[in-house]
Amino acid sequence: MSDKVILTGIKPTGMPHIGNYLGAYKSLIEMSNSHKTVAFIADLHALNSVHDAKTVKQHTYEIAAFILAMGLNMDNAILFRQSDVDAIYKLNTFLMNVTPKGLMNRAHSYKAMLEKNAASGDDPDNGVNMGLYTYPILMSADILLYNADIVPVGADQKQHVEFARDIAEYFNRMYGNVFRLPEPQIGVDAGLIPGLDGRKMSKSYDNTIPVFAPESELRKKIMRIVTDSKLPDEPKNPDESTIYLLYKHFANAAEIKNLRELFENGKIGYGDAKKILFEKINSYLDAPRKRYEYLMSHTDELDKILADGAARATAIANKTIERVRRAMLG
Ligand code: TRP
């Protein structure tokens, strides 16, 4: 058992897709077998874009059920709802006062909004609330509150983890050694996980495979993968095929080699390759899907797990707040 603390937050804005899973959550789940792990549903982070309580609550259950069903090791992990730990609101306020505004101006997500507004000729801050603008401070508070060493995230979140480290360094320089310095750990490059149309799998392209679709929907989606028009007996380049590129993430080495050879030697058509891919992904997801469905119809069990997690998270967080309070307020 390593003594490093692993931490990640998952924003409850809908069912994760396979690209999200491979990009961030798979390595978190694997590491939870050998590390103290802090995992939470970042419901406060959803509030800058989701303005409907029922939706936030529903998505929060989905994410909790998702991460449990995929095998987060609860012997080593705590799982909770971000908003259930009061210390987060406190640390957020404290960190506001050591965070340069210029750092927030550089955040990719904020800059993307500015660019979008410039392109449409709108006011630069159109649609930007302070939750969005200060998003990286709240995320830094998450990371620093629980003394995280390693933060597994998708590449899109790397900058935010670097900001958390920067903020911790500013703070430590001003007030002494209060915070541990976190490091991002990036999973499979999302650009390497193609969606149904061959472009990077992304919600914004509407080409995703959700982790927990019913089996029939999963089959339909996989059968819809876009291919070229090569015939079954023509040699095909596996590295240009979405089917093979997805298969690689779920199959073992011998299976991968086998499909590769079938492609290269013109021994398989796309339709049959899709069936093999479907069988593989489906068998990978079958047991977790059953557990997911069980949990979603027993949300009282989720409530218990989350309440227990919140109590344990609070105990850790309050110690951090004590250190920060003493350092900043005497
Ligand atoms: N911002 C992350 C995302 O959008 C979610 C998140 C919130 C997070 N707090 C975190 C991730 C702390 C890692 C650590 O995916």
Residue 18 has pLDDT above 90, yes or no: yes
Cβ(76)–Cβ(32) below 8 Å:
yes
114-165 residue pLDDT tens: 999 999 999 999 999 999 999 999 999 999 999 999 999 988 899 999 999 9
Residue 189 has pLDDT above 90, yes or no: no
Q: Separation of 55 CA from ligand 1 center, angstroms?
A: 19
Per-residue pLDDT band at 192 (split at 50, 70, 90): confident
pLDDT of residue 286: 96
**What pTM was computed for the model?**
0.94
| Residue range(s) occupied by CATH 3.40.50.620 in the chain | 2-192+299-329
pLDDT of residue 191: 78
Shortest-distance Cα residue to atom 14 of ligand 1: 8
The Cα 211–Cα 108 span in angstroms is: 27
The Cα 295–Cα 69 span in angstroms is: 8
Q: Separation of 224 CA from ligand 1 center, angstroms?
A: 32
Active-site positions? 116, 200, 203
Query: Does 45 contact ligand 1 (Cβ within 6 A)?
Result: yes
Residue-averaged pLDDT of the chain: 96
According to DSSP, the residues that pair with 37 across neighbouring strands are: 6, 77
Residue 307 has pLDDT above 80, yes or no: yes
The pair of three-digit structure tokens given for residue 196, joined into one six-digit string: 């149904």
Q: How many CB atoms lie within 10 A of CB 120?
A: 8
Q: What is the 3-state secondary structure (H, E, C) of 79-125?
A: EEEHHHCCHHHHHHHHHHCCCCHHHHHCCHHHHHHHHHHHHCCCCCC
Pairing of strands 36-41, 5-10: parallel
Q: Separation of 186 CA from ligand 1 center, angstroms?
A: 13
Half-sphere exposure of 84 (CA within 13 A, CB side): 20
Query: Does 151 contact ligand 1 (Cβ within 6 A)?
Result: yes
| Mutate-to-test residue for ligand 1 from 157, 158, 183, 204, highest number of ligand atoms within 8 A of CB | 157
Over range 177-181, report the average pLDDT. Answer: 98
User: Which CATH fold topology does 212-291 show?
Assistant: Tyrosyl-Transfer RNA Synthetase (1.10.240)
Residue 2 has pLDDT above 90, yes or no: no
Tokens 């080699």 correspond to what residue? 257
Q: Taking CA 118 as the corner, what is the angle to CA 112 and CA 124, rounded to the nearest 5 degrees? A: 80
Q: Which amino acid is at 242?
A: T
Buried b / exposed e over 237-257, threshold 16 CB at 10 Å, is ebeebbbbbbbbbbbeeeebe
The pair of three-digit structure tokens given for residue 198, joined into one six-digit string: 């061959």
User: Which CATH fold topology does 2-192+299-329 show?
Assistant: Rossmann fold (3.40.50)
pLDDT of residue 99: 98
pLDDT of residue 187: 84
SS3 state of residue 313: helix
Residue 63 has pLDDT above 80, yes or no: yes
pLDDT of residue 190: 74
Point out the ligand 1 atom lying closest to the alpha carbon of residue 152.
Answer: 13
229-257 residue pLDDT tens: 999 999 999 999 999 999 999 999 999 99
Q: How far is CA 199 from CA 31, 88, 190, in A?
A: 29, 38, 11
Residue % of the chain over a pLDDT of 70: 100
247-300 residue pLDDT tens: 999 999 999 999 999 999 999 999 999 999 999 999 999 999 999 999 999 999
| Residue range(s) occupied by CATH 1.10.240.10 in the chain | 212-291
Residue 218 has pLDDT above 90, yes or no: yes
Shortest-distance Cα residue to atom 11 of ligand 1: 9
The Cα 304–Cα 203 span in angstroms is: 31
Closest to 249 measured CA to CA, from 203, 198, 189: 189
The Cα 266–Cα 211 span in angstroms is: 31
74-128 residue pLDDT tens: 999 999 999 999 999 999 999 999 999 999 999 999 999 999 999 999 999 999 9
Minimum mean pLDDT among 15-19, 143-147, 170-174: which range? 15-19
Over range 56-78, report the average pLDDT. Answer: 98
Over range 214-236, report the average pLDDT. Answer: 96
